[in-house]
Structure 1
Amino acid sequence: MKKLLLGFLFVGLIPTASAQILDAIRGHVQDLRARTEEHQKIEGVILKRGQIDKNAKGQDLIHNSSGEWSLVKVGNQLFLQSSADFRSSPGPDYHIYISSRPAIKDNDEFSSQQIEVGRIKKPNGAAFYLLKTENPEDVSSMLIWCKQFKEYIGSADLLPAR
């Protein structure tokens, strides 16, 4: 009876595991394709900027990023902009988040304080992201997070530009 129960359990897990593997493969293919796209830069007033913290606890050989990010105002809209020097490790499901709090530095710090902006457009180089808020005080930090595997990739505190 135990073998039969284990067999049903194992067979039930195969489709779920296969779907996760296929999603990861699709995500990595999208990531690789996006790395060859042109830089995307928006012109506006830079309100804040910050560097990815390469010494954060969550950074390791597989999960990492570097480069500068800026908060840019164009009319009444705010955008998050990565610079041409931005780089991240390959990943299947990277998303950008903002927070009104200081940048998190590791997986266990992720919480509802992080507000999702969207899937990363360009995992290396310049890209911009329209924010839902028009208030610069709502944006004190940014985060790159792999949603599929719940992994910290990088973060930056955004400080007033000079």
Structure 2
Amino acid sequence: MKKIILLAITHLGAIAIGFAAGVFFLPILTAPPAPEAAELEERAAAAQYSAKLTRELRGSDALHWGEGTISISATSISHQGELAPGPDYFVYLTKEFVEDEGEFAGTKSEAVRVGAVKSFDGFILDIPEGVNIEDYTTVVIWCESFGEFITAAQYRELASSTS
């Protein structure tokens, strides 16, 4: 009986490890190629704003991080750098800087979802029609599947309403 229990535990452990590895590696294996460096540089040069992504945010950790430069224009957002690979990443614009899950959860209802991130070493996304980047201050990368904060960068200060 002890041998059957031990075999069941080891087999379930192996299945759990295989599942976790699949969740981690599948996005890497199925990711499309990143945009060409020349196109990323062209978008960055035409951008109205840029900001640095860093691993040093409260909500970032060894599995959830981003680094590099985010460039924002009225028509697109581009990223030159790296993101930790994962499933179901989306880019959002928020009106306030956020740096962890809790802060983003508090502002997500007012945030605008720009689009899905499919490559982890650079991307370009079109700004949805009707979205004015001047109404927002921060780019957030969020994992929808697991509700995980990946990274964020504030590209402009919110205009003060006091005179």
Structure-2 residue corresponding to 1:116:
113
Backbone CA RMSD of aligned residues: 2.8
Provide TM-score, normalisation by structure 1: 0.68
Letter in 2 for 1:115: V
- 118 and 25 in structure 1: CA distance in 2 versus 1, 3 angstrom threshold: farther
Tell me the percent identity: 24
Residue correspondences, number: 132
Change (3 A) 1:58 1:155: same
- Segments of structure 1 that go 5 or more residues without pairing to the other structure are 1-20
Say if 1:80 and 1:129, in contact at 8 Å, map to a contact too. Answer: yes
2:48 aligned with 1:47, yes or no? Answer: yes
Distance (whole Å) between structure 2 residues aligned to residue 51 and residue 95 of structure 1: 18
Instruction: Judge which range, 58-67 or 26-35, deviates more.
Output: 26-35
Partner of 1:97: 92
Structure 1 distance, partners of 2:137, 2:121, is 22
Instruction: Return the alpha-carbon distance in structure 1 between the equivalents of residues 93 and 83 of structure 2.
Output: 17
Shift of 1:32: 3.3
Q: What residue number does 2:12 align with?
A: none
Larger RCO (CA within 8 A; separation ≥ 6) = 1
Deviates more, 1:35-44 or 1:114-123: 35-44
More helix by share: 2
Deviation at 1:156, TM superposition (A): 0.3
TM-score by length of 2: 0.68
Partner Cα separation in structure 2 for residue 47 and residue 38 of structure 1: 20
Give the Cα–Cα distance (whole angstroms) in 1 for the partners of residues 28 and 98 of structure 2.
Answer: 24
